[in-house]
Amino acid sequence: MDFCKNYPLPNWTSGFEHRKTLGSQLPYEEYTGPLEKSASDTNDYKLIRLPNNLVVMCAQDFATETAAATLSLDVGASMDPIELQGLAHFLEHMLFMGTEKYPNEDEYKTYISQHGGQYNARTSYAQTRYHFGIANDSFEGALDRLSSFFTKPLFKKDCVDRELCAVDSEYKGLINSDIWRSYSLECKLSSPGHPRTKFMVGSLETLKQSAQDLGLDLHEELLKFYNKYYSSDIMKLVICGNHSLDQLVEWAVSKFSDVKSRGDNVQRDLEHPVSAEFLGKAVFFETVNDKHTMKISFPVPDTKALYRYNPFNYISHSINHKGQDSLTAYLKRQGWATSLNASVSTGTDAEYTVAINATPEGLEKYEDILRAVFAHVQMLASSGPQEWVQQEMSSIMRIGFDNRDKVGALKWVLDHTRIIHNEYIAPEHVLSKDNAYEKFNYNDVVHCLGYINPHNFRVFLGALKHKSIDCTEIEPHFKAAYHVDSLSADLLQELASGSIHVSGLRLPEKNECIPDDFSIKNANMLGDAAVLRPSLLKLNDNIELWFKQDDQFSSPKGVISLNIKAPTISSSPQSCIMSSLYCDMLDSNLREDLFDFIRAGQIFWTTIGNLSINLGVSGYNSKLSNLLAVVMEKAKSFKVDDALLSVHMAKYKQRYANIANDPPSQLCAIYKYYLVSASGWHHQLLESELAKITPAKLQAHVDSLFDVTRIKVSMVGNFDEAEALNVADNVQAVFKPTPNLGYDLGRPREYNFEPGYYVYQMQVPNEDCVNSAVLSHIYCGPSADKRESALLEILKALVHDSCFAELRTKHQLGYKVGAACRPYPIGRSELVLRVEGESNPMYVTMHINKFIHDMQQRLAEMSDRQFDDRVQSLVKKYLERVKNIKQEAGRYSIEVNTGIYDFDLHKSMAEILQSIAKEELLVFWNKYINLSTAPAYTRIDVQMWSTKIWRPAASDFEEYSAKTLALYGCLRSEGNDALDVDRVDEFIATAIAARQEQSDVSNSADALLAELKSATLSESGAVYAAGRSEERAAHTSTALELAIRDHKTFGNYTDVSCTNFATIGMSKTPDGLWIMADYKKFQATQETYGSDLPVEVLVPKYSS
């Protein structure tokens, strides 16, 4: 049955009436029928259609401080020409490169960033989406710039090669992603010629090289694609702000009515890509990470027409149950899996999938897992669809819909963009797609269940290596090795017999945990001014109780969190890993015991923090006390299960091993944490402790874990004081914390590095990774100094915009480029610059240093208006109100758990920001960031070097300057591997001496390089350099310019460190930098910070 063909499209003609905008009197159509919305939804809406057939949803959120928009269209990678795969994605990139009205290629990004916003775009198989969020008073300007993408884009020819490199860098950054490798393999193993087989990301090979091979002008092909598919007829616009609906409509109509209507040229009537020849197969493939995945995939008809009661959701309701005697519980008991999730997709390539995180044993026994899955399906089919199940699902969905938490404007528009693109959704349901199941359709459920059968599936099995299976075939783009085998006929016959018996499985029973009390305790006070801080109700030697009754949201929800500090949680690597195992195993047990609570909208957590364990519950307050009582009792009386421990220990071993495959910039961040933290443990040290853990040792650790504790309790939401005090009493009764002041329970410690410029380097462990990375951390003022923290916030915002434009867009150093500021609970804040790409880290660092040098001039030349705009955008962010009780509780918990208790932080930071002048920022820059003027310049660079590029030896760093090593690395990347580094060093010295008085270095750079590179390109080097030769040559030329100009434009760093670190094996460069060989030795020479003080004296409301 093709549901979409059997269900007519809704009527989007009637119910719309002709209107004109109030301001410019422009025509449009407005839907005048009812829009079904949540009882808790306070927004106002208008659904309109422009004369060019573009549909727009306008939302007025009176309380939002930010506005947002998404424009999406029903064209994606599926429409790429077969000879230019990735063209739709490349087009997405090119649209950002300027329009006729706004020709500056950074205009859109800069405008949004300067006004405190964020932006992005995404190309998928069937859609492309552009979105942004921004301050309300800058919304019109951002909308105007977005609309020009779709009216008069420039598609500058001189941007083509740069953005091709950006696309290629994005692709190479995804090559080691197991998610992309798996998806790409599924696409390859589809019907030949089907659009799903296309490579959707794109690369230099599939775009630039392919166009050259076929004699095509890629720029012209780009224009053809845009002019054919970028049509208003397949576009949807969703906008949200605090402006009046009339104003939102005015902007939408005036700015987007000029988008051309080119009809709907998208191919939609496609056969399913998974034809019969691909069914009944087991696809074994090799992963990058050590993991064991199993995905059972059933091709099914598109059910987007059944959005109000999708029958497959009925099936998932049963398969996804994780309570006692469920399919998940059975697989976990057998030691075959740690999690399972079933879901259905929509579209012409719709699939029903059962995704399983398997254990090594489970993957070997994948046939037994298949038997268990089909045994459950068999039970479901035998019992027949039950109306009470549908009613229970409907009840839970209705409760969730009517009590939906408010979200930010950007999340709201993104959520509703996905909904409004479903052409089967009636206009009145665009706000309530997930409201409730309208009816129970027995036949539709039976029909859909028929697709979950042994003759209509294939299974994908992923592992680092497969026993007895040689994966000899290679997927061409993400290079996953795989092997396709037919499932045994005997197995398929057994699965189809209808007589599979698996003991310990049963269907879900009625859920007795669905909340039924939604009364608001504080209803009479909700009109009063909100109190924006919790009250300390109780304080003694072993417990703190913080309480805040909801006075903002009129929501029947709450959050209760426990922060438990104990000296044995992570006092050693072994205790740390045992505490982590305990939290994960406790979570696993609780998910089985409390699944009915979870399904009814409640959640719990059991996590390990920094020297603490966090327990908590969140959801509808009428059931939370009961839920918390179970969580606490299970936590206190936990008994180690040998089989479960074995599964989790294997999972931890995999997790630690897989860190080696993290992206290089993420590895930089991990090792920077190891460098700065005096209370954290290296993952290799934790891994080594795993083998020493036994069930008895873990049980002993758990039994004594809470002997000495201090507990902080936070309650926020629809509670009263009596309930809060009762919860605190229950916490004390369960855990019986030993009286103490908490000072002897351990504190997070950070190292206080003495002034100096330090570099920690590592080889990227994954030998297949082509990317390297640099994270530069420049230390600034104390985190506790709010004024200096505010200055750093301003600086980070200004640096980020320029950093992206300079290092990524202009110089193409990598796809991942950005700036951040890192405030720590203790110690000093940092300005962080991040670059990940194929360039060698020395060359990247030269660019970072040049950027820092040039940034000072940009700051000095910045107008007062630009500075004020940036500051005001930050002020608005700090003053932005929380959207729901969960957000409010999270904000308070940070202050309580860190012991700072600065509940007025956001307000005070906003006040400080407004008092800062530009001149003060320049002083701050010279005090901390400018390496030529900072009196106590402190910086740590963490570098990850790909095995694909030449990396200097320790002796090279001691002998040669950074500019020599950077240029030599660039020459090697071009293939000049016959060059000697001494020759490059001599060349730079000669060039600098000969041109000290020459102002224009760039004119002579090419001639100098030609002289240097003559007769040095080896055959192997030429092979390596192929593919991005133009880009690599440009990098070499730039490296030479920087090397020659370095001594004149920005001075070398002057070493301010006072310690001779050579005695502990560190190398000092000619530029005054210290290169670490062993960071632990370096740490041993450094002091640590003490803890920051609370901002106020704690006085409880009630004596204890």
Q: Is the pLDDT of residue 626 over 50?
A: yes
Residues 877 and 969 in one domain: yes
| Bridge partners (DSSP) listed for residue 619 | 558
Q: Comparing 386-400, 841-855, 976-990, which segment has the lowest mean pLDDT?
A: 976-990
CATH of the domain at 334: 3.30.830.10
Q: Other CB atoms closer than 10 Å to residue 489's CB: what's the count?
A: 9
| Bridge partners (DSSP) listed for residue 605 | 616
Confidence (pLDDT) at 1049:
45
- Calculate ∠ Cα 953-1013-204, nearest 5°: 85
Q: Is the pLDDT of residue 381 over 80?
A: yes
| Bridge partners (DSSP) listed for residue 715 | 547, 560
**pLDDT tens for each residue of 316-355:** 999 999 999 999 999 999 999 999 999 999 999 999 999 9
The tokens for 72 are 């999406």
Main-chain phi, psi angles of 729, to 5 degrees: -60, -40
User: pLDDT exceeding 90 applies to what percent of the chain?
Assistant: 78
DSSP annotation of 196: G
Residue 765 domain-assigned (yes or no): yes
Confidence (pLDDT) at 1090:
78
Residues 1005 and 980 in one domain: yes
Residue 1 domain-assigned (yes or no): no
> Which ranges of 130-159 would DSSP assign to H, the alpha helix?
139-149
Is residue 191 within 8 Å of residue 275, measured between CB atoms? yes
Q: Is the pLDDT of residue 1020 over 60?
A: no
Residues 477 and 585 in one domain: no
Q: Looking at the 3D structure of the chain, how many domains does it have?
A: 4
CA neighbor of 404 nearest in space, from 198, 554, 608, 254: 554
**pLDDT tens for each residue of 216-266:** 999 999 999 999 999 999 999 999 999 999 999 999 999 999 999 999 999
Confidence (pLDDT) at 1023:
41
Q: Is the pLDDT of residue 424 over 60?
A: yes
Residue 180 domain-assigned (yes or no): no
Residues 503 and 643 in one domain: no
Residues 698 and 765 in one domain: no
Residues 716 and 857 in one domain: no
Question: At 295, which helix (H) or strand (E)?
Answer: strand 292-299
Confidence (pLDDT) at 1:
53
For residues 176-184, give the mean pLDDT: 96
**pLDDT tens for each residue of 665-687:** 999 999 999 999 988 899 999 99
- Mean pLDDT, all residues of the chain: 91
> Which ranges of 385-468 would DSSP assign to H, the alpha helix?
387-402, 409-420, 442-449
Residues 131 and 243 in one domain: yes
Q: Is the pLDDT of residue 1048 over 80?
A: no
For residues 141-152, give the mean pLDDT: 98
CA neighbor of 910 nearest in space, from 870, 865, 874: 874
Last residue of one domain, picked from the residues 510, 535, 555: 510
Confidence (pLDDT) at 1021:
45
Q: Is the pLDDT of residue 1076 over 50?
A: yes
Residues 853 and 946 in one domain: yes
Please return the burial class of 980, using the count of CB atoms within 10 Å of its CB with bins 0-12, 13-18 and 19+.
exposed
Q: Other CB atoms closer than 10 Å to residue 324's CB: what's the count?
A: 15
Confidence (pLDDT) at 1038:
83
Write the single-letter amino acid at 1026. Answer: A
Residue 408 domain-assigned (yes or no): no
Q: Is the pLDDT of residue 1051 over 80?
A: no
Is residue 822 within 8 Å of residue 829, measured between CB atoms? yes
Is residue 1058 within 8 Å of residue 189, measured between CB atoms? no
Please return the burial class of 493, using the count of CB atoms within 10 Å of its CB with bins 0-12, 13-18 and 19+.
exposed
Confidence (pLDDT) at 1005:
53
Residue 972 domain-assigned (yes or no): yes
Q: Is the pLDDT of residue 521 over 70?
A: yes
Q: Other CB atoms closer than 10 Å to residue 983's CB: what's the count?
A: 13
Domain limits for position 88: 13-169+203-256
- Residue recorded with tokens 């000029």: 258
Q: Is the pLDDT of residue 527 over 70?
A: no
- Calculate ∠ Cα 805-809-815, nearest 5°: 110
SS3 13: coil
- Give pairs for 935-939: CB < 8 Å, separation 24+: 935/1056, 936/755, 936/1056, 937/755, 937/756, 937/757, 937/778, 937/1053, 937/1056, 938/753, 938/754, 938/755, 938/756, 938/757, 938/778, 938/779, 938/828, 939/756, 939/757, 939/758, 939/776, 939/777, 939/778, 939/779
Is residue 424 within 8 Å of residue 4, measured between CB atoms? yes
DSSP annotation of 90: H
Q: Comparing 165-169, 727-731, 937-941, 989-993, which segment has the lowest mean pLDDT?
A: 989-993
In this prediction the pTM is: 0.92
Residues 494 and 628 in one domain: no
CA neighbor of 726 nearest in space, from 517, 734, 531: 734
Comparison of pLDDT for 258 and 521, the residue scoring more: 258
Q: Is the pLDDT of residue 529 over 80?
A: no
Q: For 691-706, give the DSSP string.
A: TT--HHHHHHHHHHHT
Which residues, in sequence order, are CB contacts of 767 under 8 Å at separation 6+? 947
Q: Is the pLDDT of residue 622 over 80?
A: yes
Count of helices and strands (H, E) across the chain = 38, 30
Question: At 201, which helix (H) or strand (E)?
Answer: none
Main-chain phi, psi angles of 355, to 5 degrees: -100, 130
Residues 1010 and 862 in one domain: yes
Q: Is the pLDDT of residue 301 over 70?
A: yes
SS3 946: coil
Is residue 28 within 8 Å of residue 50, measured between CB atoms? yes
Is residue 128 within 8 Å of residue 121, measured between CB atoms? yes
**pLDDT tens for each residue of 910-924:** 999 999 999 999 999
Q: Is the pLDDT of residue 728 over 90?
A: yes
Residues 902 and 1040 in one domain: yes
CA distances from 1056 to 39, 846, 938, 1060, 1075 (A): 63, 20, 9, 11, 15
What is the spatial distance between Cα 666 and Cα 663, in angstroms, rounded to a whole number?
5
Residue 63 domain-assigned (yes or no): yes
**pLDDT tens for each residue of 38-94:** 999 999 999 999 999 999 999 999 999 999 999 999 999 999 999 999 999 999 999
For residues 14-42, give the mean pLDDT: 95
Position 744 confidence tier, pLDDT thresholds 50, 70, 90? low
**pLDDT tens for each residue of 853-903:** 999 999 999 999 999 999 999 999 999 999 999 999 999 999 999 899 999
DSSP collapsed to 3 states, 965-1019: HHHHHHHHHCCCCCCCHHHHHHHHHHHHHHCCCCCCCHHHHHHHHHHHHCCCCCH
Is residue 59 within 8 Å of residue 240, measured between CB atoms? yes
Position 978 confidence tier, pLDDT thresholds 50, 70, 90? confident
Position 1022 confidence tier, pLDDT thresholds 50, 70, 90? very low
For residues 745-751, give the mean pLDDT: 78
User: pLDDT exceeding 70 applies to what percent of the chain?
Assistant: 93
What is the spatial distance between Cα 296 and Cα 285, in angstroms, rounded to a whole number?
14
- Calculate ∠ Cα 698-701-703, nearest 5°: 110
Residues 248 and 120 in one domain: yes
Residue 1098 domain-assigned (yes or no): no
CA distances from 826 to 605, 669, 781, 830, 900 (A): 26, 18, 11, 12, 10
CA atoms within 13 A on the CB side of 116: 25
Residue 418 domain-assigned (yes or no): no
